Copies of this chain bind each other. A is one copy, B any other.
Amino acid sequence: MPKLTMVQAINLALKEEMARDDRVLVMGEDVGVDGGVFRVTDGLHEEFGESRSIDTPLAESGILGTAIGMAMAGLRPVAEMQFSGFSYLMIGQWEGNATRMRSRTQGQHTCPLVVRMPYGGGVRALEHHSESREATYAHFPGGKVVIPSGPRNARALMLAAIRDPDPVVFMEPKHSYRSFREDVPETEEVLPLGQAHVEREGDDLTVVAWGAMMRPTIKAVDAVAKTGVSIELIDLLTISPLDSDTICRSVQKTGRCVIVQEAPRSFGVASEIIARINDEVLLYLEAPVKRLTGYDVVTPYFGREKSYIPPAARIENGLRETLDF
């Protein structure tokens, strides 16, 4: 099994799927000749030509809006937003059309497309290049939101997202793009959307994280586990529709839960998870669910960004506090 970075793994998935299915194409700003500013679409231009790796004009609504047309006409576009911070310009098309075309026409027209977008902080980038706003997309019915946490699941989820008959926002934690490698099987591996993954099993505490937060969380979990505590760690993988069953089953068992979220605290994904726990297994809780999150401030420029994203030490403290409650 080759050891790949997440960039390489997503690139592999795109290549595989474009080879397998000639309806699939990639499109966006600089995705063609340049291979994408993060090189995620590198080589696709050479292999599949410019008509299937489209360098578009600089217009996000234009990219999604035309992708919708392509999807309705039988193609399977994978559109890139260069950074999630520019994706707000296409929310009109997302909310107004991509997520509604199926219900609007009762299945007569559909939008099988993927919108890829690097998100999140930690790469010393300019303003607007570091936000984590999965909750924004998760609140719109009719669209799915997927966030991989490592190379292997990124590849398997990307294959699933492209094959999914509905529109998927695929948010790529750019902090994890090249920071580590994983074995990625040579043979095809596809993970189902809408299902969380239990990364570590345990009995004393449930920890939920996703995307770039998985790495510091694993670090914290392992540190605390060394002290003899049994921790269950859940990687969401799909944000919406949310797999509450896996979470609630775990909390029912452990009675304690910590959620680690990069985004600002309020109205984020962690809140929804707490609400699901409240709905289903409140009476099993032995401590308040803890949210370790970003803060309700405008994302700081990179000079002051680091400590705004929960670092491993803070997560570790949070785990201990919840265990000691």
Contacts and interface: CB of A to CB of B under 8 A. Distances in A.
Given A278-B289, A282-B288, A264 B139 contact: yes
Contacts of A270: 275
A70 to B, nearest CB: 21
Interface string A280-304: 0011010111010000111100000
A15 B260 CA distance: 47
Interface string A54-96: 0000001100000000000000000000000110110110111
Contacts of A269: 267
Interface string A234-263: 000000111000000000000000000001
Contact of A272 (B96, B127, B266): B266
Interface stretch (A27-35, A38-46, A128-136, A176-184): A128-136
Contacts of A266: 138-139, 240-242, 272
Contacts of A263: 139
Interface residues on A, range: 35 or more
Given A266-B242, A278-B288, A135 B139 contact: yes
A141 B241 CA distance: 24
Contact of A92 (B88, B279, B285): B88
B264 A267 contact: no
Contacts of A271: 267, 271-272, 274-275
Contact of A279 (B100, B136, B138, B288): B288
Nearest to A102: B298
Nearest to A89: B92
A214 to B, nearest CB: 20
A5 interface: no
A211 interface: no
Interface in A123-161: 127-128, 133, 135-136, 138-139, 141-142
Contacts of A3: none
Contacts of A60: 92
Contacts of A274: 271, 274-275, 278
Contacts of A61: 89
Interface of A: 60-61, 85-86, 88-89, 91-92, 94-96, 99-100, 103-104, 127-128, 133, 135-136, 138-139, 141-142, 240-242, 263-264, 266-272, 274-275, 278-279, 282-283, 285, 287-289, 291, 296-299
Task: Rank and list the top 3 A-B pairs by shortest CB-CB distance, nearest first.
Answer: A271-B275, A139-B267, A103-B298
